[in-house]
Amino acid sequence: MSRFVFLKAVLGPLMRLMFRPRVEGAERIPGSGPVILAGNHLTFIDSVILPLVCDRQVFFIGKDEYVTGKGLKGRLMAWFFTGVGMIPVDRDGGHGGVAALMTGRRVLEEGKVFGIYPEGTRSPDGRLYRGRTGIARLALMTGAQVVPFAMIGTDRLQPGGKGLPRPGRVAVRFGEPLEFTRYEGMDRDRYVLRAVTDEVMSEVMRLSGQEYVDMYATKAKAAA
């Protein structure tokens, strides 16, 4: 039994009791082959709930600090996060973005599911911010379908993304798969990358009902 199956079997019932996720459209996730799950990012527990509600294991990028802690607590955190599908990457370095992109490409080329938040960081105020084009490059380089999703209500349970979340109900909505084979070989065209990214974010906005802000979330945080 893999760690993912074990953790889902042991912690799944507890997490479902705590968060009571209402899931819509999970059947739209293809049962095999490479898939990109692209959605909004409201708080830390988004990355805990997403694997819980998917039948297939979801791999995603996480800060390497989650797996480099010392002592028993650090080892337990590393065991848990890597077990649920997190791949640690140093995103603060000069090559962090490239490393994350290449990691996602490898996961998809192995026919797996890769989860990504195109905003690049948690929303500072609950609104949906402009997507970064890494999602488009991944889709065009690998030919993977993109399934948009929306987290709803997670920020109410864990405001600011810190501290222990409180019990409550959340919703996860999945949209229809998007495919971009019409842009094959155009993964270096910045206009195509922006068009693909904006199409994905438009679907995320429709699913989430969030107000859209045509600005990067990192810029909004820096200006706050």
In a domain, 72, yes or no: yes
In a domain, 5, yes or no: no
Helix (H, G, I), strand (E, B) or coil at 122: coil
CATH number at residue 150: 3.40.1130.10
What pLDDT was estimated at residue 115? 96
In a domain, 58, yes or no: yes
Which tokens is 217 given?
């979330």
The closest alpha carbon to 178, from 154, 153, 151, 206, belongs to 206
Residues 163, 222, 150, 86: what is their CA dihedral angle, to the nearest 10 degrees? -60
Q: Which residues contact 10 (CB under 8 A, 6 or more apart)?
A: none
Q: Which band of pLDDT confidence, cut at 50, 70 and 90, is reported for residue 88? A: confident
Q: Which band of pLDDT confidence, cut at 50, 70 and 90, is reported for residue 74? A: confident
In a domain, 11, yes or no: no
Q: Which residues contact 194 (CB under 8 A, 6 or more apart)?
A: 133, 136
Which tokens is 93 given?
């370095």
198-to-24, 98, 153, 194 alpha-carbon distances in Å: 23, 21, 23, 6
The closest alpha carbon to 194, from 134, 143, 149, belongs to 134
Asked whether the beta carbons of 193 and 137 are under 8 A apart, the reply is yes
Asked whether the beta carbons of 149 and 37 are under 8 A apart, the reply is yes
Asked whether the beta carbons of 138 and 104 are under 8 A apart, the reply is yes
Residues 25 and 116: their CA atoms lie apart, in Å, by: 18
**What is the extent of the structural domain holding 165?**
20-223
DSSP 56-87: S-EEEEEEGGGS---HHHHHHHHHHHHHTTEE
In a domain, 10, yes or no: no
What's the pLDDT tens digit per position in 168-190? 999 999 999 999 999 988 999 99
What pLDDT was estimated at residue 80? 79
In a domain, 37, yes or no: yes
* Structural domains counted in the chain: 1
Other C-beta atoms closer than 10 Å to the C-beta of 150 total: 23
- Helix or strand run (H / E) with residue 13: helix 3-19
What pLDDT was estimated at residue 75? 81
What pLDDT was estimated at residue 94? 53
In a domain, 177, yes or no: yes
Q: Which of the given ranges, 31-40, 49-58, 151-160, has the highest pLDDT on average?
A: 31-40
**Over residues 213-217, mean pLDDT:** 95
Strand runs labelled E in the chain? 22-24, 35-39, 58-63, 86-89, 113-116, 128-129, 145-152, 171-174, 212-213
What pLDDT was estimated at residue 204? 98
Q: Which of 87-91, 153-157, 204-208 is predicted least confidently? A: 87-91
What's the pLDDT tens digit per position in 26-35? 999 999 999 9
Asked whether the beta carbons of 207 and 175 are under 8 A apart, the reply is yes
In a domain, 4, yes or no: no
